């Protein structure tokens, strides 16, 4: 299992916004204006590298639902995405041997994705309820986010098990005027104005094997990276850079991890990079260089948080690297971005 870094408390991967711009435009809206109103950097709509504030994401969903008069925008957006919005956590989930193991992995590791919300799995004699809620410090209405998250989960399970239906679904918020889309997705056992947001799974469902089960390693990411047309066409340097960019916010991203992801031994990998006039350290440095600038210019992460995400044990080490890359301190770039 990957060793993970601690994610900033109020932030979440920008991948949660994937597809939002296209959907909002199709519905006649202006996504950039909505993002600005919600407090999201406009770049985050197109660049999943940028961490975004959880409260701003909730505000963005709610603004889109209100301005477009589209009560079901969370469910509609989920239909365009998959569990890969969870970043490297997706590898672990798709590698589970059973539905129960997938849900346990999700709840146990959800804090590597965000600490702006919480998941728990509550068992009883007949099955288990997957419960979700935002943290108490967030005042934004979480209804769209709750439906988005549960729809992602149900859609993914249905890709693996086409006839899957949860035993029951509960939401804290009130029901929409029309339940058609909700019933099509979640089934008829859906209730609103409840004391929790939860999906209930029967014991039979929990015990079902996952069709994608594999060794608990990087095999799924390896398969995905090899099948992704844009990455498959890339040279080794670009391929390694893509993997580093994918893993860095969540993992120490060592050469051994890259070896596992590519299926190339460490020695062979290092030799091939040397032959191409580069090294793993240089590639990792290049990604850090790029992400550091993005985070400073397009997010409200503190310097300490940026340093931690990029895998530095101390802020001073990040500061020295940034000055070496850009010829000025990180604090100066942040001040210019604010101005």
246 plus 291 within the same structural domain:
yes
Does residue 213 sit within a domain?
no
Give a yes or no: residue 146 inside a domain: yes
Last residue of a domain, one of 175, 206, 237: 206
Query: Where in the sequence is the domain holding 82, given as residue range(s)?
Result: 11-206
Quote the CA–CA distance of 121 and 103 in Å, as a whole number.
7
Residue 112's nearest CA partner among 309, 314, 244 is: 309
For residues 252 and 107, membership in a common domain is answered with no
Sequential pLDDT tens for the chain (339 residues): 334 444 445 678 888 999 999 999 999 999 999 999 999 988 889 888 888 888 999 999 999 999 999 999 999 999 999 877 887 677 677 778 899 999 998 898 887 778 788 899 999 999 999 999 987 667 789 999 999 999 999 998 898 888 888 999 999 999 999 999 999 999 999 999 998 999 999 999 999 987 654 444 444 444 444 444 444 445 788 878 877 887 777 677 889 888 877 778 899 999 999 998 999 999 999 889 888 888 888 777 888 888 888 888 899 999 999 998 888 888 887 766 444
Q: Are residues 40 and 137 in the same domain?
A: yes
Q: Are residues 130 and 178 in the same domain?
A: yes
* Together in a domain, 248 and 152: no
CB 57 within 8 A of CB 48: no
Q: Which of 183, 206, 229 is the last residue of a domain?
A: 206
Please tell me whether residues 224 and 175 are part of one structural domain: no
| The token pair that represents 316 in the structure block | 């001073």
- Both 42 and 142 in one domain: the answer is yes
Instruction: Report the alpha-carbon distance of residue 90 to residue 82 in Å, rounded.
Output: 9
0.85 surpassed by pTM: no
Instruction: Note whether 32 and 91 are same-domain residues.
Output: yes
């Amino acid at each position: 299992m990957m060793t993970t870094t601690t994610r900033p408390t109020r932030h979440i991967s920008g991948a949660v916004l994937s597809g939002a711009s296209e959907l909002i435009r199709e519905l006649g809206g202006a996504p950039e204006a909505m993002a600005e109103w919600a407090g999201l950097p406009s770049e985050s709509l197109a660049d999943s590298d940028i961490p975004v504030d959880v409260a701003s994401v909730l505000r963005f969903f709610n603004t889109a639902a209100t301005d477009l008069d589209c009560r079901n925008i969370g469910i509609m957006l989920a239909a365009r995405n998959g569990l890969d919005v969870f970043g490297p956590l997706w590898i672990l989930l798709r590698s589970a041997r059973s539905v129960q193991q997938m849900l346990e992995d999700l709840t146990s590791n959800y804090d590597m994705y965000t600490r702006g919300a919480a998941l728990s799995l509550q068992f009883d004699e007949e099955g288990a309820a997957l419960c979700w809620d935002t943290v108490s410090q967030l005042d934004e209405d979480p209804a769209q986010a709750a439906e988005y998250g549960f729809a992602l989960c149900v859609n993914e399970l249905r890709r693996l098990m086409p006839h899957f239906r949860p035993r029951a679904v509960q939401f804290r918020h009130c029901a929409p005027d029309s339940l058609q889309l909700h019933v099509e997705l979640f089934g008829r056992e859906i209730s609103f104005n409840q004391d929790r947001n939860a999906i209930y799974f029967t014991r039979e469902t929990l015990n079902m094997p996952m069709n994608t089960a594999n060794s608990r390693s990087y095999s799924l990411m390896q398969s995905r990276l090899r099948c992704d047309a844009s990455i498959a066409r890339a040279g080794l340097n670009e391929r390694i850079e893509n993997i580093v960019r994918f893993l860095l916010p969540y993992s120490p991203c060592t050469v051994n991890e890259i070896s596992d992801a590519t299926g190339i031994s460490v020695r062979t990998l290092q030799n091939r990079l040397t032959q191409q006039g580069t090294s793993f350290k240089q590639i990792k440095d290049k990604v850090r260089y790029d992400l550091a600038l993005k985070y400073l210019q397009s997010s409200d992460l503190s310097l300490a948080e940026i340093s931690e995400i990029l895998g530095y044990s101390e802020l001073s080490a990040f500061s020295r690297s940034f000055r070496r890359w850009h010829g000025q301190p990180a604090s100066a770039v942040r001040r210019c971005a604010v101005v």
